[in-house]
Amino acid sequence: MKTAKQENAPTRPNELLGPEMSPELLNQRVGDEARVRARAWWWWLALFATAGGVFMMFTAITWVLAKGVGIWGLQIPVAWGFAIINFVWWIGIGHAGTFISAILLLLQQDWRNSINRFTEAMTLFAVACAGLFPLLHLGRPQYFYYLIPYPNEMGLWPQFRSPLVWDFFAVSTYGTVSLIFWYLGLVPDLATMRDRTKPGLRKKIYAFFSLGWLGRDQQWKDYRALYFMLAGLATPLVISVHSIVGLDFAVSIVPGWHSTVFPPYFVAGAIFSGFAMVATLVIPIRKLFKLEGMITTRHLDNIGKVMLATGMMVGFGYVSEVFFEWYSGDAFEMQTLMDRLTGYYAPVFWTVIFCNVISIQALWWRGIRTNPWLLWILAGVANIGMWMERYLIVVTSLGHDYLTSSWQDFNATGWDWALYLGTLCFFFFLVVLFVRLIPMVSMHEIREILHERAERGKEAS
Amino acid sequence: MRAPIPGKAVVASFKDVEQFEAVVKGYVTDNQHWSAQTVTPHPLESLDALTAYRPSPIPRIIFWAFICGATGGYLMQVYAMAITYPLNVGGRPLHSWPAFIPITFELGVLTAAITGLVSWLIRLRPRLYLRELESAIITRGTQDRYVLMLVPIDPEMKAADLIAKEADLKQAGAEETEVRLWD
């Protein structure tokens, strides 16, 4: 493979940061230039294009609030439809952020420092999109607070044995912890921005959000203590969240869902789709904002490796699913399997296999992992594949359950698509605002890497 | 330990971290006249060894918050499902503890994270304005320089002593120095 040589980033593939990087250049690139670059025509174009999609999303929400969930393609037996597919997909995308910020921090993987800010932001935006779907799917969203346990005159409590109530707790905890983690990481960088900005409104805003941070010795000690503790909490949390989402399915007895493989298989799928989204965002942004010195080919290489590893786990999940459906000897399980392999939804099944199992085999080659645009295409394919996988799980099982007289095929309506594509635009809209307003690379963590590199350089000489 | 807000200080910024560490070391071991405060753009582990290292209480606070949150969450579920609103579903046990594990865990994490943030904020004491930020040298400490602030222990220390100290720091390799007087 020659593709690695075509890479125009100024670094050797095994370098974590470009050789030209210094604290001063870092402040310039991330602190000052990024804001200036974001004034370009393409930023405005992206903003207006995604804002149009956000308008579409609000229209779709308004219409579903006015008319009810009947405007979607839902019916009995497929009562979950797009709302749950999109919920699972978005929550999964969020997982890469926490994986990178928490798990890779505890494993002392320095390469995370260049991309953790993006991915934490991505987590927050994805969780915001995800949370929308179960709320609207309630049908009477104004009563969503019934999910919160509070003493009430009716003497009613949520059913704590239900995985759907676990979901409520898991997703709200996950959203809160991700927000705290993201904001905490931002505080020292906001202080840097405060001290680099000329007096005015912008400086006041940075001063407000940087909480009077200075970087004293004791401040750093407390900061690191909290940061590592939160990472320790977030690590089992991220595993629990998608396990619980998997249990939404596995605890029921619907054919194709009632399987113990679901929680680990969902977690692997979540990290896979999340890393695919990381690559989708990071590759254009590093080019547009000239961040190749910070997000080097080594980062792309690692993103590719994680995608390959988690994608293989997902592939193993598919194999074990098929095996256990056959091994159960249950006629309905077999029927669901045959539906997927050869029935109405067969094109979806085989697309999933192509996107999530076959196409990622290309990532065995280093040349492909380190070629930004090939990786970007593969990541896009994986994003589509993971969405279709959720479609397959939700729709085929529900459509063909134990009561053959009620079997129905699912077809989405225009409003289903409007809301889904609307949230996609909403997600990108928030990303577009993020790159302009907030330091998009964690400067203080990169400084640590630069400091360590300098120390190693001194020892070597 | 919270550093006192200085009325006056000798401020020096260093580009080279080794020179900075050497100078800091001198002032934390001999701290009869000066209280040394550092401002660094990233955490420096070497300072832990130099200064009297006192571990942050935050991990312990978080641990107990987790225990309290998880216990409270579990008891809430038992109370709701087995005591106030018992629902007999096919004779299954009311105190079905395996089904209570996920929410117990989630509430433990939620309580721990929020308590951790609050305790951190209490220790940080957020403020909108710091008079240290008036000094262009100190503000480099959040960007790309290692900054040392020497605050005289005796508030009546003479200006000549401060100026002499500034010269010392310059000698020790400081890039920029100043004597800062706040009113």
Prediction ipTM score: 0.91
Cα–Cα distance measured from residue A302 to residue A309, given in angstroms and rounded to the nearest whole number: 10
Q: Give A219's contacts in chain B (Cβ within 8 Å).
A: 124
Segment A264-282 shows an average pLDDT of: 93
- In CATH terms, the superfamily for domain A3-460 is Formate dehydrogenase/DMSO reductase domain (1.20.1630.10)
Q: Give B84's contacts in chain A (Cβ within 8 Å).
A: 155, 157
For residue B122, give the chain A residue with the closest CA: A222
A409 is written with which tokens?
A: 């095929």
Contact by Cβ (8 Å): A35, A434? no
Cα–Cα distance measured from residue A86 to residue A218, given in angstroms and rounded to the nearest whole number: 44
% of chain A residues with pLDDT over 70: 97
CB contact under 8 A, A27 and B144: yes
A350-390: pLDDT as tens digits: 999 999 999 999 999 999 999 999 999 999 999 999 999 99
CB contact under 8 A, A229 and B58: yes
State the CB neighbour count (10 A cutoff) for residue A137: 20
- Collect all residues with Cβ–Cβ distance below 8 Å to A359 and sequence separation of at least 6: A378, A381, A382, A385
Confidence check: pLDDT of A404 > 80: yes
Number of H helices, E strands in chain A: 18, 0
C-alpha separations of A78 from A81, A247, B15, B79 in Å: 6, 18, 65, 35
Confidence check: pLDDT of B6 > 60: no
Q: What is the mean pLDDT of chain A?
A: 89
By C-alpha distance, which of A311, A292, A273, A233 is closest to A119?
Answer: A273
Cα–Cα distance measured from residue B45 to residue A247, given in angstroms and rounded to the nearest whole number: 43
Segment A435-454 shows an average pLDDT of: 87
Contact by Cβ (8 Å): A171, A131? yes
Name the helix (H) or strand (E) containing A445.
helix A443-460
A98-123: pLDDT as tens digits: 888 888 888 888 888 888 888 899 99
Confidence check: pLDDT of A412 > 80: yes
Give me the pLDDT at residue B146, please. 92
Q: Give B103's contacts in chain A (Cβ within 8 Å).
A: 160, 165-166, 169
A446-456: pLDDT as tens digits: 888 888 888 88
Confidence check: pLDDT of A66 > 90: yes
**Between A169 and B27, the higher pLDDT residue:** A169
Nearest chain B Cα distance for residue A221, angstroms: 6
C-alpha separations of B91 from A118, B86, B88 in Å: 50, 11, 6
% of chain B residues with pLDDT over 90: 37
Structure confidence at residue A2 as a pLDDT band (50, 70, 90): very low
For residue B17, give the chain A residue with the closest CA: A451
Residues 157-216 of A with CB under 8 A from B: 157-158, 160-161, 163, 165-166, 169-170, 172-173, 176-177, 180, 184, 188, 191-192, 194-196, 207-208, 211-216
Give me the pLDDT at residue A380, please. 96
Q: Please tell me which of the candidates B39, B84, B106 has its beta carbon nearest to residue A215.
A: B39
Give me the pLDDT at residue A102, please. 87
Nearest chain A Cα distance for residue B127, angstroms: 5
Q: Please tell me which of the candidates A23, A173, A458 has its beta carbon nearest to residue B110.
A: A173
Give me the pLDDT at residue B73, please. 96
% of chain B residues with pLDDT over 70: 91
Nearest chain A Cα distance for residue B139, angstroms: 6
Give me the pLDDT at residue A201, please. 92
Segment A153-173 shows an average pLDDT of: 90
Contact by Cβ (8 Å): A400, A255? yes
Name the helix (H) or strand (E) containing A424.
helix A414-437
Q: Give B40's contacts in chain A (Cβ within 8 Å).
A: 215, 217, 220
Q: Give the strand order in the sheet containing B146-152.
A: B34-39, B146-152, B8-14, B176-181
Segment A50-70 shows an average pLDDT of: 95
Segment A308-330 shows an average pLDDT of: 92
A16-41: pLDDT as tens digits: 787 888 888 888 888 788 778 888 89
Please say whether the dihedral angle defined by the alpha carbons of residues A93, A94, A97 and A102, taken in this order, is positive or negative: negative
Q: Is A98 on the interface with B (CB under 8 A)?
A: no
| One-letter identity of residue A377 | I
Structure confidence at residue A15 as a pLDDT band (50, 70, 90): low
Confidence check: pLDDT of A1 > 70: no
For residue B98, give the chain A residue with the closest CA: A161
SS3 A286: helix
Nearest chain B Cα distance for residue A120, angstroms: 16
Residues 222-281 of A with CB under 8 A from B: 222-226, 229-230, 233, 236-237, 240, 244, 247
Give me the pLDDT at residue A426, please. 97
Give me the pLDDT at residue B51, please. 63
Q: Give A244's contacts in chain B (Cβ within 8 Å).
A: 102
Structure confidence at residue A12 as a pLDDT band (50, 70, 90): very low
Domain boundaries, chain A: 3-460
Give me the pLDDT at residue A13, please. 46
Q: Please tell me which of the candidates A184, A216, A229 has its beta carbon nearest to residue B38.
A: A216
Beta bridge partners of A286: none
Instruction: Label residues B137-148 b or e (16+ Cβ within 10 Å = b).
Output: bbbbbbbbbbbb
Phi, psi of B148 (to 5 degrees): -115, 130
Strongest mean pLDDT among A334-338, B46-50, B67-71: B67-71
By C-alpha distance, which of B114, B115, B105, B116 is closest to B70?
Answer: B105
**Between B75 and A400, the higher pLDDT residue:** B75
User: Alpha helices, DSSP H only, in A260-371?
Assistant: 262-288, 297-328, 331-342, 346-353, 366-369
Burial of B76 (0-12, 13-18, 19+ CB in 10 A): middle
Give me the pLDDT at residue A455, please. 83
% of chain A residues with pLDDT over 90: 58
Give me the pLDDT at residue A49, please. 95
Strongest mean pLDDT among A74-88, A443-457, B52-66, B140-154: A74-88
Confidence check: pLDDT of B31 > 80: no
Domains of chain B with CATH codes: 8-54+132-181 (3.30.70), 58-124 (no CATH)
In this structure, of A64-68, A91-95, A109-113, A284-288, the range with the lowest mean pLDDT score is A109-113
